[in-house]
Amino acid sequence: MSTASAPPRYTDLLTRLPATVPFVGPETQERARGAGFDARLGANESVFGPSPRAIAEAAKDAWMYGDPEGFALRSALASHHDVPIEAIVLGEGIDGLLGYLVRMLVAQGDAVVTSDGAYPTFNYHVAGFGGTLHKVPYKGDAEDPEALIAKAAEVDAKMIYIANPDNPMGSWHDAARMADMIDALPEGTVLALDEAYVDTAPPEAVLPLDLGHPRVIRFRTFSKAYGLAGLRVGYALAHPDFIAAFNRIRNHFGMGRLAQAGALAALQDQDYLHATVARIAKARDRIAQIARDNGLTPLPSATNFVTVDCGADGDFARAVLARLVARGIFVRMPFVAPQDRCIRISCGTDADLDRLADALPLALAEAR
Amino acid sequence: MSTASAPPRYTDLLTRLPATVPFVGPETQERARGAGFDARLGANESVFGPSPRAIAEAAKDAWMYGDPEGFALRSALASHHDVPIEAIVLGEGIDGLLGYLVRMLVAQGDAVVTSDGAYPTFNYHVAGFGGTLHKVPYKGDAEDPEALIAKAAEVDAKMIYIANPDNPMGSWHDAARMADMIDALPEGTVLALDEAYVDTAPPEAVLPLDLGHPRVIRFRTFSKAYGLAGLRVGYALAHPDFIAAFNRIRNHFGMGRLAQAGALAALQDQDYLHATVARIAKARDRIAQIARDNGLTPLPSATNFVTVDCGADGDFARAVLARLVARGIFVRMPFVAPQDRCIRISCGTDADLDRLADALPLALAEAR
């Protein structure tokens, strides 16, 4: 009996899934071009790095598993945000937590609503659990809360995804608009509010942390302004009953000790965070000026990147991006029209932005 | 309309899941007892730590996301094991990879086979995806390959889990016995072979790395002999077709840059690994001697821990364990009879084992 030739019996769902990669990594592009990038301005990381204290702390006790309850970090976050520790769950970045959330809510065929051109990793998870994704268009380069709510009511959605501030456009809604969205949330719908960029947003864009609503969950990260993308620490804030449900499925030992210790030390160094946010604001202004110097239109940004309208269609923006990449400048761009008339440039060091200033006019000329 | 009071509409599956924690962390116990442990000998970590080079490398570039392809680490592993890079997938520890594997194979009601008392985190994932777990007993303090195969054939199992060497008993099967098990694998069944402890096993216990079988997948980790439990890096080795299926669902950016860099540096420092394995062997001998000095029976071990038969029933062993914990010695024990007549002691430093030698006779006297 030749039994060894039969492949594994995957689930029906898995058999239908494509082998998607939500994002191609810059390292893949570096291998393809046979050279490293000179400026890494595409992944909305913080080139300004983390607090030095974060790395010193993270390097200790590498031989030990992390506390599966993440008690020290969750306690510090609870104190920082003035919420109960039971309102916080840690995860392997917001990506990991979004995966858990989708698994908790979405069975085969369940409806989920997002914006066309919003975070693709969320869409990847929805597809990965067999959900049906309904997309509404951006409106004026921003996600459209009213349209998201209307679509959710129409399709009886289990969940809506929205980011505030938004990625990839850098736009934002003020707290009152987000509060109205929550008030209008259909009874059977969860609002997943991705606040990865909240630390660089203007105060009026930050919804107060009222965790009384049983179906609103907010996501934060140490990968952006805190400069710790390399550790992958995200967390979610929600009503304790909602947070408790994560314990039924999460990978309790998934977040390493170094990640927890590094994030805790970074959280405790708010001076460094504030200094980084100031550097990000300065870099945003410089990117905007470089864009304007080249006849392009920088969009307002509440994030650690600036999305730049290249003034034509998606094909032109893709050509500009390709030329920048060929010149060693890693940048990304929106996937969907009409947002794909833009390129997205993460904040960089002065030297990074000098390289951008040198390369952009050449890239534009070549693209034209 | 008061809509805010309705809870999230969880999936039917999630609603039925308990809020399990596969393992209570030692930190939880420390908080409960209001004092830290003096010797951390319960989690099968490596108290001897990682290569110093691992931490130096890991601390670089903390602001960057990890390469979602993990190319550098996978390349080095491919070279180390002399297998194609396409035969390797990285994950957030073996725990994370087991979760992905279960998700790929197990739909509601699918049968899965394991041993009664084997790795609880695997069982947690099977329950978490709605699988039906069938357990066969240990035989002579070892998992029973023939019984696992027979049960899989009987229930038409999608998957069998076995660890070689075994945790929590420390026992092992030789390569010929494992090869026979693979030969007997039913046509519809995947063999998940957990080799977390392979680095401390005698050569005859290590099955050659033949990745030609389409339904055998093997798991390795940097959390044990490599001393990097704090980073959470595991990997799986299998036929490239099998490995490719992980790309449909895995969290591509789930493993941080520090974890990848630290594991790579540790892999490249094989001298340190060999020195650690020698220290582990010495510590095993010392633990065995301490057990014998107290009239207890140490079981043979191919791992970085020694399972010690306390010579009576589970209640007695639980009492001994409780007394050790009360004295600041963190150890664990098997969950299931008759293996629960034992306690499981991870290898420690000389100072750790001095504390164990002091505490064990007192704990035994109190338990009696």
Do A156 and A136 share a domain, yes or no? yes
Q: Which residues of A touch B258 (CB under 8 A)?
A: 58, 230-231, 258-259
The predicted complex's ipTM stands at 0.91
Instruction: Kindly compute the dihedral angle of the four CA atoms of residues B178, B184, B187, B192, in this order, to the nearest 10 degrees.
Output: -20
Confidence grade of residue B118 (pLDDT, cut at 50, 70, 90): very high
Point out the domain boundary residue: A249, A268, A287.
Answer: A268
Query: Is A114 among the domain residues?
Result: yes
Residue B267 pLDDT greater than 70, yes or no: yes
Among B58, B92, B105, the residue with its CB nearest the CB of A92 is B92
CATH number of the domain at B166, please. 3.40.640.10
Residue of B nearest to A61 (CA): B230
* Residues B189, B322 within the same domain: no
Residues B112 and B77 in one domain: yes
The candidate with the shortest Cα–Cα distance to A342, out of A368, A367, A366, A306, is A306
- Domain count of the fold of chain A: 2
The span from the CA of B112 to the CA of B122, in Å, is 10
Contact of A78 with A84, CB cutoff 8 Å: yes
Substitution target in B258, B272, B273 with the highest count of A β-carbons within 10 Å is B258
> For residue A16, what is the nearest residue in chain B, using CA coordinates?
B248
pLDDT the model gives residue B14: 78
pLDDT at A2: 41
Interface touch A58/B63, C-beta < 8 Å? no
**How far is A15 from chain B, CA to nearest CA, in Å?**
9
Asked whether residue A156 falls in the same domain as residue A94, the answer is yes
- Contact: A63, B46; criterion CB under 8 Å: yes
Q: Same domain for B99 and B172?
A: yes
Considering the domain architecture, whether residues A62 and A40 belong to the same structural domain is answered as: no
pLDDT confidence band for B21 (50 / 70 / 90): low
Task: Going residue by residue through chain A, which has 368 residues, state the pLDDT in tens, using 9 for 90 and above.
Answer: 345 677 888 888 777 777 666 667 788 788 787 888 887 877 778 777 777 776 667 677 788 888 888 999 999 999 999 999 999 999 999 999 999 999 999 999 999 999 999 999 999 999 999 999 999 999 999 999 999 999 999 999 999 999 999 999 999 999 999 999 999 999 999 999 999 999 999 999 999 998 999 999 999 999 999 988 888 899 999 999 999 999 888 988 888 888 999 899 999 999 999 999 999 999 999 999 999 999 999 999 999 999 999 999 999 999 999 999 898 999 999 999 999 999 999 999 999 999 999 999 999 999 99
Asked if the peptide bond before residue A165 counts as cis, ω within 30 degrees of 0, the response is yes
Nearest CA to CA, how far is A353 from chain B (Å)? 17
Whether residues B160 and B235 share a domain: the answer is yes
Query: Is the residue at B11 inside a domain?
Result: no
* B348 is a domain residue: yes
Whether residues A252 and B23 touch (CB distance < 8 A) is answered with yes
- Give the separation between CA B72 and CA A154, rounded to whole angstroms: 47
Burial class (CB in 10 A: 0-12, 13-18, 19+), B147: middle
B38 shares its domain with B157: no
pLDDT of residue B293: 98
The answer to whether A186 contacts B3, with C-beta atoms less than 8 Å apart, is: yes
The domain boundary residue, chosen from A268, A301, A320: A268
How far is the alpha carbon of B295 from chain A, nearest alpha carbon, in Å?
Answer: 31
Which residues of B fall within a CB distance of 8 Å from A40?
A: 64
The answer to the question of residue B7 being in a domain is no
What is the mean predicted confidence (pLDDT) over B135-152?
98
Question: Of B203, B277, B190, B285, whose CA–CA distance to B239 is shortest?
Answer: B190
Query: Position of tokens 């927890």?
Result: A260
Same domain, B139 and B206: yes
pLDDT at site B1: 36
Q: Which residue type does B198 have?
A: V
The domain of A302 spans 23-48+271-367
Residues B215 and B355 in one domain: no
Q: How far is A99 from chain B (nearest CA, A)?
A: 8
Residue A16 lies in a domain: no
Instruction: Report the relative pairing of strands A159-163 and A111-115 from DSSP bridges.
Output: parallel
Residue B194 forms part of a structural domain = yes
Are residue B93 and residue B124 in the same domain, yes or no? yes
**Chain A residues close to B110, C-beta within 8 Å:** 11
Output the 3-class SS for chain B. Answer: CCCCCCCCCCCHHHHHCCCCCCCCCHHHHHHHHCCCCCEECCCCCCCCCCCHHHHHHHCCCCCCCCCCCCHHHHHHHHHHHCCCHHHEEEECHHHHHHHHHHHHHCCCCCEEEEECCCCHHHHHHHHHCCCEEEEECCECCECCHHHHHHHHHHHCCCEEEEECCCCCCCCCCCHHHHHHHHHCCCCCCEEEEECCCHHHCCHHHCCCCCCCCCCEEEEEECCCCCCCCCCCCEEEEECHHHHHHHCCCCCCCCCCHHHHHHHHHHHHCHHHHHHHHHHHHHHHHHHHHHHHHCCCEECCCCCCEEEEECCCCHHHHHHHHHHHHHCCEECECCCCCCHHHEEEEECCCHHHHHHHHHHHHHHHHHHC
pLDDT of B304 > 90? The answer is: yes
For chain B, give the mean pLDDT.
91
Cβ <8 Å between A249 and B14: yes
Per-residue pLDDT band at B255 (split at 50, 70, 90): confident
* Interface test mutation site (partner A, options B251, B255, B260, max chain A beta carbons within 10 A): B251
- End of a domain among A268, A301, A334? A268
A8 in a structural domain: no
Say if residues A356 and A41 touch (Cβ distance below 8 Å).
yes
Q: Give yes or no: residues B88 and B201 share one domain.
A: yes
pLDDT score recorded for residue B307:
97
Alpha carbon distances (Å) from B10 to A11, A98, A150, B21, B22:
21, 14, 21, 19, 22
What local confidence, expressed as pLDDT, does residue A37 receive?
80
CATH number at B33 reads 3.90.1150.10
Q: What is the pLDDT of residue A338?
A: 96
Mean pLDDT in residue range B227-248? 92
CA distance to partner chain A, nearest, from residue B133 (Å): 16
For residue A28, the model assigns a pLDDT of 79
Whether A317 maps to a domain, the answer reads yes
